[in-house]
Amino acid sequence: MTTLLRLADVNVYYGAFHVLRDVRLEVGAGEIVSLLGGNASGKSTTMKTILGLTRLRSGTITFDGVPVEHRSTPARVRAGIASVPEARRVFPQLTVDENLLAGAYTRKDRAGVAEDLERMREHFPRLAERRRQEAGTLSGGEQQMLAFARALMSRPRLICMDEPTMGLAPRLVDQVLDEIARLNRELGVAVLLVEQQAELALSIASRGYVLATGEIAVQGTADELLRDPRIQEAYLGRSTA
């Protein structure tokens, strides 16, 4: 598999606080990779660093073979990195269509944008029905769909998703994970997925990394991680004693 995203020895500080320590991780083209870890382990910081929303002190971020760690966020989006931010934030006062167009803010090809808007309406018929509805009035599941569709409007090759199922009812959680697997399968987009529910995340991922206080503590294939006693104990709520 070709490597799409590579973080090498990434160090990030918040003031004097060393939050990411020599983080190394890779996402292959078209791959789903799960980023796990307890609260405050640095998962969101890793996502923000990939997007360029948090500055790194040292290390490199390569996307499609090109170093991007010194590029602006819009430049990274143009290169093919998109995000579904924590708690699937959408612009609540904007309509569904306006939210989708906001996802294409880095693009200048109007015809292509119009085409993609149509494609998103086909892919997410619920959003098409509600195109003029204010996004803040959508149900939780619909807002989630909109956050995915908005991310796709930049024609990304990688989507970074930070806890996309946060606060959703259990029934919707399964639905959202199925949707992520479908986007990956049908559109070939790679996904870096932060998810509290490790077992669910690993059920659709091919590999995973576990962050512990800012360091990659464990990594492996999804099957290896699911069988790892350290993971079972810490994240899957199973005692190995």
Ligand X SMILES: Nc1ncnc2c1ncn2[C@@H]1O[C@H](COP(=O)(O)OP(=O)(O)OP(=O)(O)O)[C@@H](O)[C@H]1O
d(CA 241, CA 239): 5
200-239 residues near ligand X, rule: CB under 6 A: none
Q: How far is the CB of 217 from Mg ion (least distance, A)?
A: 17
CB of 206 closer than 8 Å to CB of 222: yes
What mask of x and - would describe binding to Mg ion in positions 4 to 43, judged by CB under 5 A?
---------------------------------------x
| One of 44, 62, 73, 197 touching Mg ion (CB under 5 A) | 44
Between 19 and 159, name the residue whose CB sits nearer to ligand X.
19
Which of residues 39 and 239 has its CB atom nearest to ligand X in the complex? 39
Taking the complex as a whole, how short is the minimal distance between the CB of residue 128 and Mg ion, in angstroms?
31
Estimate to the nearest angstrom the gap between the alpha carbon of 90 and the chain centroid. Answer: 15
**CA dist., res. 65 & res. 26, Å (int):** 12
Q: How far apart (Å, rounded) are the C-alpha atoms in residues 138 and 136?
A: 6
Binding partner selected for residue 45 from ligand X, Mg ion, none, CB under the kind-specific 5 to 8 Å limit: ligand X
In the complex with Mg ion, which residue's Cβ is closer, 26 or 163? Answer: 163
Q: Strand 17-28 to strand 66-67: parallel, antiparallel, or no bridges (unpaired)?
A: unpaired
CA dist 47 and 84 (Å) reads 10
Amino acid making up residue 72: S
- Cα(141)–Cα(145) distance, rounded to whole angstroms? 6
Q: Following DSSP, what letter does each residue of 150-209 receive, concatenated?
A: HHHTT--SEEEEE-TTTT--HHHHHHHHHHHHHHHHHH--EEEEE-S-HHHHHHH-SEEE
Residue 43 or residue 88: which is nearer to ligand X going by CB? 43
Q: Which among ligand X, Mg ion, none contacts residue 239 (Cβ within 5 to 8 A by kind)?
A: none
Residue nearest to Mg ion (CB): 44
Closer by beta carbon to ligand X, 18 or else 78:
18
Q: How far is the CB of 225 from ligand X (least distance, A)?
A: 17
Closer CB to Mg ion, 30 or 164, in the complex: 164
How many residues interact with ligand X (rule CB under 6 A)? Answer: 11
Contact 104, 116 (CB under 8 A): yes
Binding mask 30-69 for ligand X (x = CB under 6 A): -------x-xxxxxxx------------------------
Q: In the numeric block, which tokens belong to residue 158?
A: 């990688």
Positions in the binding site for Mg ion (CB under 5 A) = 43-44
Positions in the binding site for ligand X (CB under 6 A) = 14, 17, 19, 37, 39-45
